């Protein structure tokens, strides 16, 4: 008996399906989860009344813009957004994720960033 490799959807198909999610508040949540490689619970900033775990999500100040220079001394610079997450596992360790703000590189960064700040 041979073991079959799981068939994974393409990046394009995943993005297409996320783009089709309505309402927009839910779509931007899925965009953020995808971009940040986050577990579902990581962007959640409030626990429900019956939840006994600690909410570790964003508080509005956990994302900020910086200018990134990949080669020190180079004139090549990029505006990026740094998202600060706290892991759902590993005792809530801090994890920083930087994503380009330029839509040519990543069109979802700006809407996720705007939602994150709200």
Question: What is the structure's pLDDT at 89?
Answer: 75
CA distance linking residue 63 with residue 94, whole number of Å:
13
Residue range 15-56, pLDDT digits in tens: 999 999 999 999 999 999 999 998 877 777 676 777 776 666
Residue range 67-83, pLDDT digits in tens: 999 888 888 999 999 99
The answer to whether residues 85 and 62 touch, using CB atoms and an 8 Å cutoff, is yes
DSSP bridge pairs for 68: 78
Look at the chain and count its residues. Answer: 118
Radius of gyration of the CA atoms of the chain, in A: 17
Question: What is the structure's pLDDT at 85?
Answer: 87
């Amino acid at each position: 008996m041979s073991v079959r490799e799981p068939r994974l959807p393409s990046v394009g198909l995943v993005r297409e399906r996320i783009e089709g999610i309505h309402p927009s508040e839910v779509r931007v949540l899925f965009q953020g989860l995808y971009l940040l490689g986050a577990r579902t619970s990581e962007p959640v900033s409030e626990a429900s009344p019956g939840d006994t775990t600690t909410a570790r999500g964003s508080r509005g100040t956990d994302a900020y813009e910086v200018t990134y220079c990949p080669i020190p001394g180079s004139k090549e610079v990029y505006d990026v957004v740094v998202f600060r997450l706290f892991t759902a596992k590993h005792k809530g360790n801090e994890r920083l994720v930087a994503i380009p703000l330029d839509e040519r590189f990543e069109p979802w960064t700006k809407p996720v960033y705007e939602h994150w700040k709200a």
